[in-house]
Amino acid sequence: MTKYEKQIYEIVNKLAGHLTADQIFTELKKIYPSVSLATIYNNLNKLCEAGLIRKVLIEGSPDRYDRIAKHDHLVCTKCGRLTDICFEDLTASLKEQLGSSFFAYDLKVFYICPECRDLSAAGNAMQHVYR
């Protein structure tokens, strides 16, 4: 691993906050002020290819990078926030049903996060008051 790969790996695993490349860039600049965004992308790709981190794709929002440990995600349809959630591992059951054609699965559950739910509840209350 290069020094950049190592740092990026640590940032992704320690912060575990589903950072975008831009956010990782900001973090890494604190350590290596002269690093470029292109370097970040190169190293992120290398780490993904090596299976050391993974990319989480959410439609309509930038790619996030995440630790590799098996877990699933709740995705807020309003603000795009990702929250880790652990479901029962479906690998065994999928393998049983699909046999050797099974490769991997990536589960996303779409919901409205508590913050957005509070906001919309507050919004509804306001509408009620002014109606």
Which residue ranges make up the site for Zn ion (CB under 5 A)? 66, 76, 78-79, 81, 84, 113, 116
For the beta carbon of residue 31, count every other beta carbon within 10 angstroms. Answer: 12
**Cβ atoms of residues 79 and 116 within 8 Å:** yes
Closest distance between Zn ion and the C-beta of residue 43, in Å? Answer: 19
* Structure-block tokens of residue 10: 């640590």
Residue 23 vs 39, nearer CB to Zn ion: 23
Residue 10 vs 84, nearer CB to Zn ion: 84
Residue 27 vs 66, nearer CB to Zn ion: 66
Closest distance between Zn ion and the C-beta of residue 101, in Å? Answer: 26
